[in-house]
Amino acid sequence: MDHAFLMSLATKLSEYFLLLEDDALCAPNFISHVQRKVDTLGSQPWALLEFSNLGFLGKLFRSGDLPVLAHFLLLFYREKPLARLLPHFRTLLAQKDPILCRPFLFYHRVSYHAPNDSQKASGMQKKSPYAPDNPPGAVFTDMKVFEVHFPWEAYTLDESFFWTHNVSAGNHLTVILNHPADPRRVPVLTGTIVDGKHALQKGQVELGYEP
């Protein structure tokens, strides 16, 4: 309901409206990336551009559509949460398929689980003793680094990730721990979450014991 009032207020402030959250991190120069994507689409009709795949974070609308969207949210906010209403609104404005703008520009620094319809929001979940735990450390790489998704994001335990391309044999991503540790296992996940493509075909994990 709060978002409906926010959108009503923002209707005439600008040409576009970008939906963010207070705990989000933004890629450097994200405004330029968003503007470039809008310019690329030109006169192509769209109702919703998605610069993140996390809930309602990073969703871009035309300000002219905000009054209708605000009214839509006020009508149905009791039926579904905002993130699940947006696809229905997009379809009503004749945009059948989502437009995912990769690489994503916005992400959360703290992972969370949104409650479903049968659950109520609760406090912090008790951490499983079998959950991963990355010791503090610094991350270095000789692979190409772009303006979004930096190497250190490959070492986080949330939805963040490191994005690169044209990886060659001998390239590395190295983690130097702040203090000695005795790792039990080192899982490495590669490829895109959405479609499972671009996975690393072959690699090697090496442990170092010298300072």
pLDDT confidence of residue 117? 44
| pLDDT above 70: residue 201 | yes
Residue ranges of domains in the chain: 2-108, 132-197
Q: How confident is the model at residue 118 (pLDDT cuts 50, 70, 90)?
A: very low
Share above pLDDT 90 across residues of the chain, in percent, rounded to a whole number:
14
Residue 196, Ramachandran bin (φ over 0: left; ψ between -120 and 50: alpha; else beta): left
pTM: 0.54
92-108 pLDDT, tens digit per residue, is: 999 999 998 877 788 76
Helices (H), the chain: 2-9, 30-41, 66-76, 82-92
Identify the residue whose tokens are 């005439």.
12
